[in-house]
Amino acid sequence: MDNARPSSQSKTVPELGRQPIRTFEAAIDRCRELGMRLSRQRRSILELLWQTEEHLSARSIYDRLNQQGQDIGHTSVYQNLEALSSHGIIECVERCDGRLYGHVSDAHSHVNCTTTGQIYDVNVELPAELIRQVEAQTGVKISEYRVDFYGSTVQAIAPDGSTR
């Protein structure tokens, strides 16, 4: 299932020099610092992303909020997600089947399950020697990196090694 692969346009890192946003409260603070209006809808979207701790499509966010009794429209969801991701407050992962949004905004890597489409956030530290090799090959000083892993969850692998 190739739709789990994010495109090269995926935004995973906020502006350089900014503190990472690791809590709901920090996300609210960053909105205030940037002078962003903290509407009920925007706050609800942020709360949902921090509560679920998974990557969700705009449609899933809309559905979940409305199931919770929140009165929010499609357009409002899309506009708020765009504003929050463009300011580095939330993560936007581009996939061939659409965008997914997550609450982690600092540099991190992903494990993509090719069977379920689930994306897991992980912190991976590459060996210093590997980073030096990349720098030597490219002439580019590495300041941040992101690694995308792909595979099937253990539960999705049958005893014969095939995926279910």
Classify residue 148 as exposed, middle or buried by CB count within 10 Å of its CB (0-12, 13-18, 19+): middle
Indicate the residue type of 90: I
55: Cβ–Cβ under 8 A, 6 or more apart, which residues?
Answer: 91, 93, 100, 101, 102, 119
Give me the helices (H) in 53-139, please: 58-67, 74-86, 128-138
Ligand-binding site membership of 96 (annotated)? no
Which residue has tokens 């789990």?
4
Classify residue 64 as exposed, middle or buried by CB count within 10 Å of its CB (0-12, 13-18, 19+): middle
Of the candidates 20, 76, 22, 21, the residue with the CA atom closest to the CA atom of residue 45: 76
Tokens of 87: 């300011």
Binding residue ranges for Zn(2+): 113
Binding residue ranges: 113
